[in-house]
Structure 1
Amino acid sequence: MKVYKIFIVMLYMSITLSGCNKKESYHGFAPVNSEASIEARQLLGFLYSIQGKYTLTGQHNFVSDFDRYNSRVHEITGKYSVVWGSDFSFNALGDNIRKFQHCGPMNLSVPFDSCYVNGLSTEELRQGLVDEAIEQYDKGRIITLMWHCCFPTEGDDCIGNSIWTWQNAPSDSVWNELVTEGTELNNQWKHQMDGVAKYLKQLKDANVPVLWRPYHEMNGVWFWWCNKPGDNGFKKLWIMTYDYLTEHHELNNLLWVWNTNAPRNIPGDEAGPYKDFFPGVEYVDVLAADVYHGDYQQSHHDDLYTLGGGKLVTLGEVGSLPSVEQFNNQTNWSWFMVWGYFINRRDDGESVRAMYEHPSCITLDEIDFSGKNYKLKENLN
């Protein structure tokens, strides 16, 4: 009987501790997915542990050449970035493929090289992406993935204008069909999602946490998923995506990065207020802004941080890095990620070196990834 009682007590303690781990929070914030993997939770905890003190360096890489811009960062700075980004992308079709080479369609050569079709299948390219992400994770890098996706009726193969719709965005009736459960268009969307989910599952099985940032820059006016404010607009698409990948596909390795564009009033190229497209803190682990044209307004940082109520904020993509003065005034960015070839495009590397040498910017050599746990090396704590 005594042994039985001890067993019951130990079982109770095990269940209790397990429950505590599920609800573990960082600075008051738990992962929005209550079933988030141990690795995803550890990554989130690490990001909160450096919040307001350090910013991780990051670099985007294209599926057609994973090493080009990693190597370029090292050539300029002598260091490597911590955050490794890439794109599930699409296959560009039609006579105007060069027009869309800048975003790195997976079937094309690297942007601004001679433009040619690389001849690889979608399966080969996306499998290569997964394999590379696992390899980079094993080196101690943090993985962030996004997706330039065709409209769901076209799967993964489309002319670029299917993605960059501008004034030809889906009508309200088409949008309603998309976000209504069980319609033909909704089922086509699910099929498109399934095609990427199987690769995210490989990363889950390999215990790789992913900073997942689908449908980026939704407050702009250029992509098919853009410029749909309100509860039945982008917010509904985001929640639908979260529910499908989390509940149906059980992708518990994902941390959800809601990635806006910095608001702007450029005629014909506007980006609206963050709040009009925000699905709520219960669906977002990290709030991100993309900054191009050097547009590092203080409000872009402060308003995002306020909207999230203190949750993590980050620079999802940037064309050029901030000046040291701008960076010193915007202390809550968790990481920055330079978009591909833009690492080559300013001051012969001077601004890149300035940020990589900044005492608050963390490079790969300053990460201790022993035991597959992210932490800073002791001299930085």
Structure 2
Amino acid sequence: MKKLLNLSLAASLLFALTGCGNEDPKVTYISDAGNGGADGGSLHGPTLEPVMLNYLNEIKGSKTVVGVHNDEKVLENNPSYWSKKAAELTGSWPALWGMDFGFGEAGVGLRASLVSQAEAAWQQGALVNVMMHVCPPTTNEDCGWEGGVLTDLTEAQWTSLLTEGGDLNNAWKVRLDSYAKIFESMNQRGVRVLFRPFHEMNQTLFWWSLAGKPEYTVKLYQLTHDYLVDDKALTNLTFTWNLQDFSTLEADLDAYDPGAGYWDILSLDNYNTDGKGFSQEKYDLLLNKAGDKPIALGEVATLPTPEILKQQPKWTFVMSWAELTFIDNSDSSIKALYSADNVVTLEDKAGWPGFSGDDRLVLDIPGGITPPDDSTPAEPLIIFEDTANGWTAGQSDKVTHEIIEGDADHGKVIQHTYTAGETVSEFIFDSPQDLSDYANGTIEFDLKIVNQPAGIEYWAFKIDCGWPCGTGDVDLSTNANGVTPTVGEWQHYKFYISDLLKLNADNALEIDYITSPIVIVPQPWSDAQIGVVIQLDNIKYTAGVVEAPSVADKAIFENELPDEWMVGQSGKVTQELVDGDAEHGKVLQHTYIGGETVSELIFNEAQDLSAYKDGSIQFDLKIVNQPSGITGWSFKIDCGWPCGTGDVALESNVAGTTPKVGEWQRYKFRIADLLTLNGDNSLMIDYVTAPFVLVPQPWSSEQVGVVVQLDNIVYSAD
């Protein structure tokens, strides 16, 4: 395992570095440096060596730096929150530290800490990346997102902004003056900055990019560059020109180009906007445009794999966006990337000149983490194996506990008999325990349900840290082994601690303060529990980085009708298996003989599809006949109407595919996106009743005569 560097980005760092006898940081200059020096004074002038740019040119084609953007919403109380979260998960600090100037009252108020945080990251050897979500010059900096960052300027306002001496031109330069002071403060401390102004220049939702007028955005970029470099004489900025991966990327690379003298690095925000992922086409477009200059992935939600980076080796850095790092990527895929030989994390690179070896700043994060080392992982923690040590049984007035002889495989086991209801089988530590060593490991146990009264409907377990703090009730059937609780036989259960730590929202499990290491809960919580008898054995926590098993795709329809679902609306829609084409084989054809209906596939029993919450649903659709009254198409996933996604327009799919009559088309939707829809009735992914519903719009008799064919309806985990 790579060693984890400690990095403090607390606001107090600035005082710590400038007082108490600390020496000023030393900066390396090229030999002809004439207007600044390592001992202080002005560092203005073009002679400060662009060490970050030099470094990226050195690794270009062989290594890719991995980084994380730190959202200003968590900056105040959790400096570098998302970088730290990546370090805690992988054991390696990201080698690029990203931040935003911010907007609105809260964002602007946090800028004072930017210098100290950037300096600490720099002294550790990290690349420092600063961008700007910025309010338009028509407002103050306390603007909001809607009507502020997301707004349009009129033609007259653009003219005022781009004309020397115009009211908005002057207002914009006053805005830049405040940025320049921050950059100069960094400059004085030797900190160089990858500066990304007007990110996603071709994203016309932002005020700085007027649809159909790329020349306005180009001129604004040039104006900003010239004012900061020429008028304010800043020498520590490495300019990153940035676009988003729209289908118009090839044309945008020319239309939005501010000119070779205005950018040092070309970066792409790859959000799969064009539906092509990390395609070779996009990579080649950037390489051709950049020439000898570095290219980079400025923002991503889904991280590239090490294999993709081997195929596309000239991406010099990749920065994932704050919380999307952990929403759009599995823990195992993040770990795989950070440990790859062709990826640079912080401990993989030397410090910047002047900050190496013993001179390199190493501080603890407030309330931070313990760096992992190369020592042997902690031994398994045995909660019960023949004997009970270090804990007491809870609910002793409602549950009897005795150690008895099991069978030949289990030896001594602990048996719980329920003499009352509204209770649990609880193991309570004599005093709270820190089980952080097991945060990346598992909890495992053997359970035999000896007697299950008729009123017990299912079984759960949990881990507590002083109720309500804990995992909350976790359905036993969601275990990693896929075991369904069965009466009369021993069964082995395994759960990944990293998955359990994500549960129960604000009352989530605190792994460093465990009061009850295991609690078994016969459900429901009622007198129906009276008469429950269970036996437990081999309860243990295992340390170490444990990778969760891959989750197989779940086919809703592929060539044949599964037994696990039935078709809905059968009185209004006929369903039959027909021959498709050579590519599709057997397909499902629906013909609408009534209106106000849908093509609905319904599970015989509600199913838990939580394993796919970070993945996607994909399907092939051919519209065979579309009556003239049909004005649109949508689909949805239901959890017992009105619970569900609500109607989702088909054209909002990842690739932006527009439904067409007479041809097969592939659609893909990210489950994480669907979970945020429909307000209080949002989809419960652990209780899906209808995994696929197709809706010809509008909901009326106009639907009569619709004919559609469906194939390859699949839920994928990744």
Give the TM-score taking structure 2 as reference length.
Answer: 0.41
User: What is the DSSP-based 3-state SS (H/G/I as helix, E as strand, rest coil) of the residue aligned with 1:162?
Assistant: coil
The structural deviation recorded for 1:71 is 1.7
The structural deviation recorded for 1:212 is 0.3
Any conservation in 2 of the 1:60–1:338 contact (CA below 8 Å)? yes
Q: Does 1:332 align with 2:320?
A: no
The structural deviation recorded for 1:18 is 2.9
| 5+ residue gaps, structure 1 | 1-15, 20-33, 93-105, 108-121, 376-381
Q: What is the rounded CA distance, in whole Å, between the counterparts of 1:45 and 1:308 in structure 2? A: 16
2:135 to 150, 160, 179: 150
Q: What is the rounded CA distance, in whole Å, between the counterparts of 1:362 and 1:238 in structure 2? A: 30
What is residue 301 of structure 2 aligned with on the other side? 319
Any conservation in 1 of the 2:68–2:98 contact (CA below 8 Å)? yes
Q: What is the rounded CA distance, in whole Å, between the counterparts of 2:122 and 2:352 in structure 1? A: 12
* Structure with higher RCO (Cα < 8 A, 6+ apart): 1
1:179 to 162, 180, 197: 162
What is residue 84 of structure 2 aligned with on the other side? 71
What is residue 96 of structure 2 aligned with on the other side? 83
Identity %: 31
2:65 to 37, 56, 61: 56
Runs of 4+ residues deviating >6 angstroms: none
Any conservation in 2 of the 1:318–1:338 contact (CA below 8 Å)? yes
The structural deviation recorded for 1:57 is 0.9
The structural deviation recorded for 1:45 is 1.3
CA deviation map 1:128-158 (0-9, x unaligned) = 1111111111111110100100111213111
Q: What is the rounded CA distance, in whole Å, between the counterparts of 1:340 and 1:58 in structure 2? A: 10
Name the one with the larger helix percent: 1
Instruction: Give the 3 Å change call, closer, same or farther, for CA 231–263 of structure 1 in structure 2.
Output: closer
Any conservation in 1 of the 2:122–2:352 contact (CA below 8 Å)? no
The structural deviation recorded for 1:272 is 6.2
Q: Which amino acid aligns with 2:235?
A: N
Higher mean displacement: 150-159 or 180-189: 150-159
The structural deviation recorded for 1:160 is 1.0
1:238 to 194, 206, 221: 221
User: What is the DSSP-based 3-state SS (H/G/I as helix, E as strand, rest coil) of the residue aligned with 2:323?
Assistant: helix
What is residue 18 of structure 1 aligned with on the other side? 32
CA deviation map 1:338-357 (0-9, x unaligned) = 11001211353122112112
The structural deviation recorded for 1:80 is 0.6
Q: What is the rounded CA distance, in whole Å, between the counterparts of 1:192 and 1:370 in structure 2? A: 31
Q: Does 1:36 align with 2:46?
A: yes
1:345 to 327, 331, 350: 327
Instruction: Give the 3 Å change call, closer, same or farther, for CA 349–156 of structure 1 in structure 2.
Output: same
What is residue 289 of structure 1 aligned with on the other side? 268
Q: Which amino acid aligns with 2:130?
A: L
Q: What is the rounded CA distance, in whole Å, between the counterparts of 2:143 and 2:260 in structure 1? A: 33
Q: What is the rounded CA distance, in whole Å, between the counterparts of 2:346 and 2:232 in structure 1? A: 32
User: What is the DSSP-based 3-state SS (H/G/I as helix, E as strand, rest coil) of the residue aligned with 1:86?
Assistant: strand
Q: How does 1:301-312 map to 2 (within 5 A)?
A: 301-312=283-294
2:153 to 157, 167, 170: 170
User: What is the DSSP-based 3-state SS (H/G/I as helix, E as strand, rest coil) of the residue aligned with 1:234?
Assistant: helix
Any conservation in 2 of the 1:179–1:237 contact (CA below 8 Å)? yes
Q: Which amino acid aligns with 1:50?
A: I
Instruction: Give the 3 Å change call, closer, same or farther, for CA 229–278 of structure 1 in structure 2.
Output: farther
What is residue 360 of structure 2 aligned with on the other side? none
Give the TM-score taking structure 1 as reference length.
Answer: 0.76
The structural deviation recorded for 1:170 is 1.7
User: What is the DSSP-based 3-state SS (H/G/I as helix, E as strand, rest coil) of the residue aligned with 2:219?
Assistant: helix
Q: What is the rounded CA distance, in whole Å, between the counterparts of 1:370 and 1:330 in structure 2? A: 26
Instruction: Give the 3 Å change call, closer, same or farther, for CA 186–217 of structure 1 in structure 2.
Output: same
Q: What is the rounded CA distance, in whole Å, between the counterparts of 2:256 and 2:212 in structure 1? A: 5
Q: Which amino acid aligns with 2:308?
A: Q
CA deviation map 1:156-214 (0-9, x unaligned) = 1112123443xx52222321221111000100111111121111110011110000001
What is residue 132 of structure 1 aligned with on the other side? 117
Q: How does 1:207-286 map to 2 (within 5 A)?
A: 207-227=190-210, 232-264=215-247, 273-286=252-265
Larger radius of gyration: 2
Q: Which amino acid aligns with 1:158?
A: C
User: What is the DSSP-based 3-state SS (H/G/I as helix, E as strand, rest coil) of the residue aligned with 2:32?
Assistant: helix
Any conservation in 1 of the 2:196–2:242 contact (CA below 8 Å)? yes
Q: What is the rounded CA distance, in whole Å, between the counterparts of 2:154 and 2:328 in structure 1? A: 40
| 5+ residue gaps, structure 2 | 1-29, 34-43, 358-718
Q: What is the rounded CA distance, in whole Å, between the counterparts of 1:331 and 1:346 in structure 2? A: 23
The structural deviation recorded for 1:231 is 7.3
The structural deviation recorded for 1:228 is 5.5
Considering only aligned residues, what root-mean-square deviation do their CA atoms show, in Å?
A: 2.6
CA deviation map 1:29-79 (0-9, x unaligned) = xxxxx943424x222211111111111111111232323212211122111
